[in-house]
Amino acid sequence: MRYGVIGGGGMASYHAHNITLIPTATLVACAAPEFNDAIRATAQRVGATCTASVADLCARPDIDAVVIATPTDTHAQVALLAMQAGKHVLVEKPLARSLADAQLMLDAAQQYGVKLMCGQVVRYFREYATAHQLITRGDIGTVGVARTARCGAYPAAHTWYADTARSGGVALDLLVHDLDWLRWTFGEVTRVYARGLIDRAIPDRDTVMVILRFASGVIGYAEANWSYPNGFHTSLEVAGSNGLVAHRNDDVLDLTLRPQAGSGARLANDPLALEDPYLAQLIDFTQWCAGGTSPRSTARDGYEALRLSLAVLESVQTGRPVLLQGDAS
């Protein structure tokens, strides 16, 4: 699979690097108005070209698929350009900034006969995949209540996150991960009521909390914030009639470093990236494009996760519960 990467920030450079780790994939070109050092280094290492023009990249006949990691509000425009050019598309979450944009993307994939996937990567985290498996095979019986949390530092290096009209704030950017996992595990959501800080205009403290009701009867709580000064915390806990499943990422790291101040001590990377969920996601997408089975997360899943995130935002802004009809498909 010959890849182009569109976007010049952290996620774009990560995907570009991961492409170079897949034996059946090649990184051909990268496109962005500006690139970080990591993406330039990766491109140089494998002889990929860097261009400012997304149109030029999409026009290249020697590219089969693109990975899009641009600001959220540009996903649809960029994806449409790529799909019109016959490229398969893996787009970062959230699928788009609006449901109308998201629908255009789903339609374009049909119209141009290309594969479209949304990077709901939490399904590829081993802990979340394991919890999903334990729950869905019945190890804890009938589920009553499920809760998740996802807390990180505000991505201050990129100013577009502060513009909620572009990013959707933490509800679209982080909470969408857990909403997708919850929907994957417990099915469709019928009602959400959310509280949050998006209207306070303090993007670097943006926080959202939501209580959900699922068609299956499960009730859920999900929370995301950009208030952590450093580090990244995720947790999940699901209680059922026969037991409890729990995970907290801070408890279960297999290698950690406490450096002496100013020493420059740092941990080595895992050269094989065996546990990297982003690589697993990219491998899944690559084999799908090559004619393999459907990936663990589809564009429709991305659409539904976005629909939930937007319902959460609507609830925060109206102060009222939002009712969701069943699966829009």
Residues that bind another protein (CB under 8 A): 126-127, 129-131, 134, 139-141, 242-247, 251-260, 263-272, 274-275
Cβ nearer to another protein, comparing 201 with 252: 252
Separation between Cα atoms, residue 57 and residue 92, nearest integer Å: 18
Q: Among residues 10, 18, 9, 13, which one has the least CA distance to residue 277? A: 18
CA–CA dist 263, 125 (Å, integer):
32
At its nearest, how many Å lie between another protein and the CB of residue 226? 26
Beta bridge partners of 234: 150
> Of 277 and 321, which has the nearer Cβ to another protein?
277
CB 225 within 8 A of CB 207: yes
Closest CB 92 distance from another protein, rounded Å:
24
| Closest CB to another protein among residues 62, 251 | 251
**100 vs 265 by CB, closer to another protein:** 265
Smallest distance, another protein to C-beta of residue 260, A: 5
User: Amino acid letter at 84?
Assistant: Q
Torsion on CA atoms 39, 40, 42, 44, rounded to nearest 10: 160
Geometric angle at alpha carbon 160, from 320 and 201, rounded to 5°: 45
| Shortest Å, Cβ 236 to another protein | 9
Nearer to another protein, 163 or 275 (CB): 275
Q: In angstroms, what CA-CA distances link 45 with 10, 19, 278?
A: 17, 12, 20
Q: In the bound complex, what is the minimum distance in angstroms from residue 69's beta carbon to another protein?
A: 25
